[in-house]
Amino acid sequence: MKSAEEQLSTYKSVHLNPKNIRTHFVGIPLIIWSLFLLLNLIPVKFFALDEPAISINVAGAFTIGVLIYYIRLHARLAIGLTLFIIPVLYTSHLVAQLLGAVWIALAVFVIGWVFQLIGHQYEKAKPAFVDDLNQLLIGPFFLMAEVYFMLGFEKQLDKRITPMAIDKRRVLETERRAARG
């Protein structure tokens, strides 16, 4: 597993433009919420003697798995992500009870991606997940790191990942220029 520094620097390498980062502060939470809403619509029942003994949904199971991943990457950032995910899980569960929840989820998902794509127009770089699907999980992790940095926490982490991201960006731009001929 790549370290938090490697993951964050890769993600940040295509998220250096402040306008792009601002659009991600809208787009990523919308996408996450819509995905949790969709996952809340998928029940999982564990049976014991012909009756459901435990009934959860995929959103709950996914939350546990993702938080374990974030804890393994960086425990302090995982605390912030936990505080973010709990209300997302709760509110998406409430909306999942409504008629038309699927359509709400799809509309919010599309709106979130519109913000993401607008941001990448400012950045003039493709989204990080295009080259590495794992970067889809790093988006929320990156935003939480940015929140910590804005609040003055994890300064050493920021000092390590920013130069790495700038170096990675230079390599990407050099490769892109070489490909164009």
| 136-148 confidence digits (pLDDT tens) | 999 999 999 999 9
Six-digit token string for 118: 């607008």
Give the integer Cα–Cα distance in Å for 80 and 35: 19
CB 22 within 8 A of CB 146: no
pLDDT at 80: 98
| Secondary-structure breakdown of the chain: helix, strand, coil percentages, each rounded to the nearest 5 | 75, 5, 15
Average of per-residue pLDDT values in the chain: 91
Neighbours of 64 (CB within 10 A): 11
pLDDT at 178 (0 to 100): 85
Q: Output the 3-class SS for 4-39.
A: HHHHHHHHHCCCCCHHHHHHHHHHHHHHHHHHHHHH
The residue written with tokens 């809208």 in the block is 26
- C-alpha 80/C-alpha 145 separation (Å) is 9
The per-residue pLDDT for 47 is 61
Among 16, 20, 24, residue whose Cα is nearest residue 166:
16
| Percent of the chain whose predicted confidence (pLDDT) is above 70 | 94
| Residue 108: predicted pLDDT | 98
**DSSP assignment letter at 125:** S
Segments in the chain below pLDDT 70: 45-55
Position 54 scores a pLDDT of 63
> What b-and-e string marks burial along 41-59, b requiring 16 or more CB atoms within 10 Å of the CB?
beeeeeeeeeeeeeeebeb
